[in-house]
């Protein structure tokens, strides 16, 4: 049971935290400007800043007091008798599990399979390089940002390295010339079999699974996943072929042994953090089953 004063305070704190990430993006969007690193989580993923700002207590928690009446109108919420005249609001886990059964089942399979595998740390972020391989022939994604080594230098790095991307949603953006160079050929159908916890994009996608599982997932867990994705995105782009010096980012020079070692260290840390979040998301799915069957 969460008293009204507490859930109002926690909601306000959550909104302030989200504003720290989202306000600059919203100002840029209003001005017609873009940021090659920070805009990504708000444009690639389908969860809007407004949706991210809404505080949810998570499955099994009851919001008390008059303020609960607003939450009672949100999707997958229901009212309960909390002993007060106003009543309380809580997540209707039975309806949530029934209506989102397909998504919940896939999320459980993907998260469980990924959590059970060892992290592979030898990709060095080459997926971003493969997305602009032979850019003079195929064109360049993010063409407003220059390539740090130029087109020929970028192509040489791709050709000299062993590319082993396991993540379909990165692989699908490879240029046609780069796809045959990948040692693996991930597909949507093989995603559960191939996803592994060292992959930066798989770990960023924890944010996606967290918001897809709202409101069973709490806003606190959602924001933890968002924050991890925010920090991973910075590494992903610092290790990319783009020259981001105008935006204040120092490159991780993965074309050098020192740069590859720096990348692998950061990747390992993110992988360990992501595994803890993965377990927390799986624990929410277990709790939904327990509450729905109680």
Q: What is the pLDDT of residue 38?
A: 97
Q: What is the pLDDT of residue 82?
A: 59
HSE of 64, CA atoms in CB hemisphere, 13 A:
10
Q: What is the pLDDT of residue 84?
A: 58
**Kind of pairing, strands 62-63 and 77-80?**
unpaired
Q: What residue numbers bound the domain in which 285 lies?
A: 4-293
Instruction: Classify burial at 8, counting beta carbons within 10 Å of its beta carbon; exposed 0-12, middle 13-18, buried 19 or more.
Output: middle
Q: Got the DSSP string for the chain?
A: -B-HHHHHHHHHHHHHHHHHHHHHHHHHHHHT---TTTTHHHHTSS--HHHHHS----TT-EE-STTHHHHHTSTTEEEE--SSSS-EEEE-HHHHHHHTHHHHHHHHHHHHHHHTSPPP---TTHHHHHTTTTHHHH--TTTTS-BTTHHHHHHHHHHHS-B----HHHHTTS-TTTGGGBS----STTHHHH--TT-HHHHHTHHHHHHHTTTTS-HHHHHHHHHHHHHHHHHHHHTSSB--GGGT-----TTSHHHHHHHHHHHHHHHHHHHHHHHHHHHHHHHHHHHHH-
Cα–Cα nearest to 266, from 237, 243, 226, 232: 232
Read off the pLDDT of residues 61-108 as tens digits, 9 standing for 90 and up.
999 886 677 888 899 999 987 555 557 899 999 999 999 999 999 999
Instruction: List the beta bridge partners of residue 78.
Output: 90
Q: What is the pLDDT of residue 86?
A: 58
Q: Which residue has the tokens 């992501």?
A: 274
HSE of 26, CA atoms in CB hemisphere, 13 A:
10
Within the chain, which residues score under 50 in pLDDT? none
State the Cα–Cα distance between residues 42 and 99, nearest whole angstrom. Answer: 26
Number of domains into which the chain is organized: 1
**Average confidence score pLDDT of the chain:** 94
């Amino acid at each position: 049971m969460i008293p009204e004063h507490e859930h109002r305070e926690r909601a306000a704190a959550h909104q302030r935290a989200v504003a720290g990430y989202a306000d600059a993006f919203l100002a840029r969007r209003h001005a017609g400007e873009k940021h090659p690193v920070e805009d990504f989580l708000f444009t690639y993923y389908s969860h809007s800043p407004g949706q991210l700002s809404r505080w949810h207590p998570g499955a099994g928690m009851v919001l008390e007091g008059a303020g609960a009446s607003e939450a009672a109108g949100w999707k997958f919420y229901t009212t309960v008798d909390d002993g007060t005249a106003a009543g309380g609001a809580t997540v209707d886990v039975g309806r949530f599990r029934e209506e989102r059964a397909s998504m919940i089942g896939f999320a459980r399979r993907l998260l469980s399979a990924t959590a059970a595998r060892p992290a592979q740390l030898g990709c060095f972020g080459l997926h971003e390089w493969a997305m602009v391989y032979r850019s003079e022939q195929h064109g360049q994604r993010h063409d407003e940002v220059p390539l740090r080594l130029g087109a020929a230098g970028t192509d040489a790095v791709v050709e000299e390295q062993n590319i082993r991307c396991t993540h379909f949603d990165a692989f699908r953006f490879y240029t046609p010339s780069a796809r045959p160079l990948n040692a693996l050929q991930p597909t949507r159908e093989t995603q559960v079999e191939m996803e592994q916890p060292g992959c930066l994009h798989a770990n960023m996608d924890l944010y996606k699974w967290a918001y897809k599982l709202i409101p069973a997932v709490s806003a606190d867990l959602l924001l933890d996943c968002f924050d991890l994705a925010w920090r991973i995105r910075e590494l992903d782009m610092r290790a990319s072929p783009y020259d981001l010096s105008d935006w204040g980012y120092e490159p991780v020079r993965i074309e050098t042994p020192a740069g590859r070692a720096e990348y692998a260290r950061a990747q390992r840390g993110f992988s360990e953090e992501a595994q803890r979040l993965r377990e927390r998301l799986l624990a929410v799915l277990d709790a939904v089953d327990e509450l729905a069957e109680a």
